Structure 1
């Protein structure tokens, strides 16, 4: 099947996300946020860049995500099926997300990727119609962040089995470098389309998982030699366009933070059960912004929620470079609302004192 032709003939003026899936959820308009001392967008950017925010942002809630239907890194709609690379995906209900079907192979072996791999021809895609549609869902008061999924490393182990991907680092380092650089070209091309057609874009949330829950996949030397050049070139493109960079990278990837900073990544949301939030905050908290979770338990009273939020701000607020990702177990919209209100009002007071601002300004 010609997956690129299917993508090229899709009517992107229509919404393609399936109700209840992650793309559907993040494409839904969010409720308006009450007027604040400065715009939610400006305050978020201050926190990302370490420029003295007025309050601690509620991560994800205070931003809008640009998730194009027209970039088919997953099946569109997001149900069992193929993306435009020809990779077979299936939905896992327990995680409400998609993974590649075991045994998926789009090329016979890595050494033959130049001959066998069909690269998406994005010139065929109607980004303009999709951009007009997505722009209508975005809140002008929030920052707009393009979610760039399936990073340079991830895409390779979706095209071929994971063990063969890792072997390529040892067996075909020069050919691997060519592949990663060509993938960086592709990422630059698709991201540029987003900047052209999806209205104001303030930042890019770049996805590339680099580790297990025990450690990164690569030594730092291997990372610097084989993955960092292509990744840096893509991220430098984003920075030259005046956008900030957030990183989504699952795994115990604390070892790569110096490289993240060197590449110009402004912010990382580390996987909570794999990384040490206090170590990251104490070691790198003045050079990089982090999003850490506040987990609200089922039996927490309103008073306990407010105390937990205040403790979080007192613990992580000192550098002005932490966002709070409010999570409830199980999901509880009312408890989230209480926590967000306390986060705003308490952290506003905290930063007024920290930065010697007059109350209410």
Structure 2
């Protein structure tokens, strides 16, 4: 069956307003007559069953960033991408572990401020690192407002937790060199710290899930450069895997899907991520051959992807964007296990991309079904 691609703001086409990723503006996108709710469709994709269309984070998700969870000036609360506002100039801040950070707009993220070190000796972390007391923060004001004015039970409620265990280790010891030396020279102390961070994260998850009917949680823990992983398989098995598994097991025990944001060429760690029962990977296309990983592991782990071969910051005509979206569905669509992010600033192109992704993937999955 062929599905309509409605023209921009065509008369009679239902629409909804959506905020643009990394921008303050909103735009109209078409609102389709779905055969099931976006949440039901997303659950099919996550279960590696044939969905009705390839989920689109712009239209199918309700995303709550880590900075939004707590009321007040919490730009660095758990240190994740500043999706909640337009950032054009660098600024410095302390996060809720009292670590110093500098937000770098050109990098699109926070960097540990040079010279920052909370813990010069990882074997003494219990004396120098103060874990946040979550009860001291106001989590309820934003949650109450969100649930009353924004929440849509038909869509995926997707919450970002921010920084993960090894990233927190690196932040307290003063950087990646110090973090890798700690992993190599003091594995027992590092493991103890990571387990304490897992305890904290589990408490954090319990609080968040008590306030929101969460469907998916994203957790950030970068494990590599674009060349290779920061640490070895042996360190993964003996130090990092156990605390990370505790966090993921706890999240999934609540019926919540788990998405792992992990930068770098972490190809060698994907079998471990499957062992951790990660539902979706959010990884770097320029560092990892994601189509090859989909072909090899796609029946066991899912992928959050951008339109294939999209060059960020480079203008693309409509016909080229349409072809990229079709290639994305063809590469990642088989058997579910994938959803797409759309990022554009032109309202007409956004409309056309949303329409094409929905229509083409409906046709793709009708054929598969």
Q: TM-score, normalised by structure 1?
A: 0.84
1:334 is aligned to: 348
1:174 equivalent among 180, 188, 192: 188
Q: Map of 1:72-87 to 2, 5 A cutoff?
A: 72-74=77-79, 79-87=91-99
Q: CA shift at 1:288, angstroms?
A: 1.1
Q: Distance in 2 between matches of 1:180 and 1:354?
A: 43
1:102 equivalenced with 2:118 (yes/no): no
1:308 equivalent among 302, 309, 324: 324
Instruction: Note closer, same or farther for the CA distance 1:209–1:299 as it changes in structure 2 (3 Å cut).
Output: closer
Stretches of structure 1 lacking an aligned partner (at least 5 in a row): 1-19, 356-361
CA RMSD of aligned residues (A): 2.7
Q: CA shift at 1:158, angstroms?
A: 1.0
Secondary structure of the equivalent of 1:326? coil
**Any conservation in 2 of the 1:152–1:231 contact (CA below 8 Å)?**
yes
Q: CA shift at 1:125, angstroms?
A: 2.3
Q: Distance in 1 between matches of 2:316 and 2:180?
A: 45
Indicate the structure whose relative CO is greater, using CA pairs within 8 Å and at least 6 residues apart: 2
Q: CA shift at 1:250, angstroms?
A: 0.4
**Mean Cα displacement is larger for which, 52-61 or 182-191?**
52-61
1:190 equivalenced with 2:204 (yes/no): yes
Q: Distance in 2 between matches of 1:310 and 1:81?
A: 42
1:230 equivalenced with 2:243 (yes/no): yes
1:154 equivalenced with 2:146 (yes/no): no
- Give per-residue Cα distances to partners, 1:108-157, cap 9 Å, x unaligned: 43222111211111122232223213333333332011101110110111
Secondary structure of the equivalent of 2:342? strand
Instruction: Note closer, same or farther for the CA distance 1:133–1:96 as it changes in structure 2 (3 Å cut).
Output: farther
1:210 is aligned to: 223
1:116 is aligned to: 128
Secondary structure of the equivalent of 2:103? strand
Q: Map of 1:135-150 to 2, 5 A cutoff?
A: 135=147, 136-150=149-163
Secondary structure of the equivalent of 1:340? helix
Stretches of structure 2 lacking an aligned partner (at least 5 in a row): 1-19, 86-90
**Any conservation in 1 of the 2:28–2:351 contact (CA below 8 Å)?**
no
1:319 is aligned to: 335
1:133 equivalent among 139, 142, 145: 145
Q: TM-score, normalised by structure 2?
A: 0.82
Q: Distance in 2 between matches of 1:299 and 1:354?
A: 33
1:266 equivalent among 255, 262, 279: 279
